[in-house]
Amino acid sequence: MPSRIKRAFAGLELEERILNGASLLAIVSVFLPWISGQWLGDEDLTYSGFQFFTSIIGIIIFLCHVSLLALTVIPMFGGKMMLRKKQKEIIRLCLAGQATILSLAALSVLTKVTYDYTRMEIRFGIYCTFIGSLVAAFYAFWRLQEFRKSESQDLFHHPDDRTVATDRIETVMQTPPPPPPPPPLQPEEHHLRP
């Protein structure tokens, strides 16, 4: 089974692998510490994305990225294709964009808490979540643009027309051979007068 999973992911395009890897990074980062320190007491506390004031935001970010992965993983392992290609790319961009905005919102809430309570500090989990969400959003946008580009090219260029057009261009663009060089000139005679 693990070799089948590796082959399935190796068969994906590079952009698709980066998008899914960034989404997986964000999923794992929700479980990592987002904030830690002393909160209204002397004991040290550490909160992940599912705890503290940002728990709802963390849950929504987690669900967005799980949905992003599900759009790739379910059809890859024999499941039914849930969406058409165009809808899939648009939904991916919406989910990744929403996760990025919510990660930034959680980061701003945590920054406000650290200003109010100086013994609290922001941890690496929120940064990894934000970076994973941002990379996923960029690659989702890029894949949507590539899909639109290929869709418009397919609309205006039929595959049979491409071969005919290149043959036509080659016949029209052939240049005649260059003219032969002129014959050499006869040397001139110059007489010296005494």
pLDDT tens per residue, range 144-157: 888 888 877 777 76
Where is average pLDDT lowest: 34-43, 102-111, 117-126? 34-43
Global confidence as pTM = 0.71
**For the segment 14-26, what is each residue's pLDDT rounded down to a tens digit?**
888 888 889 999 9
Do the Cβ atoms of 133 and 96 come closer than 8 Å?
yes
Give, to the nearest 10 degrees, the angle between helix 14-31 and helix 55-76: 140
Residue 162 pLDDT exceeds 60: no
**pLDDT at res. 135:** 92
Domains, the chain, ranges and CATH?
Answer: 2-170 (1.20.140)
In which band, very low, low, confident or very high, does the pLDDT at 100 lie, cut at 50, 70 and 90? very high
Instruction: Please report which confidence band the pLDDT of residue 133 belongs to, taking 50, 70 and 90 as the band edges.
Output: very high
**Starting from the edge strand earliest in sequence, which strands make up the sheet with 33-38, in order?**
44-48, 33-38, 120-122
Reported confidence tier of residue 160, pLDDT bands at 50, 70, 90: low
* Euclidean distance between CA atoms 67 and 55, whole angstroms: 18
Cβ count within 10 A of residue 111: 13
Residue 101 above 90 pLDDT? Answer: yes
Backbone φ and ψ for 38, nearest 5 degrees, come out as -105, 125
H or E segment and range at residue 147: helix 124-156
- The pLDDT value recorded for residue 71 is 87
The two tokens of residue 160 are 């049979």
Q: What confidence score (pLDDT) does residue 12 get?
A: 78
Supply the pLDDT for residue 169.
Answer: 58
CA 179 vs CA 38, 122, 170, 182, 189: distances in Å: 90, 78, 21, 9, 30
% of the chain beyond a pLDDT of 70: 87
Q: What pLDDT does residue 98 have?
A: 93
Look up residue 167 and give its amino acid: D
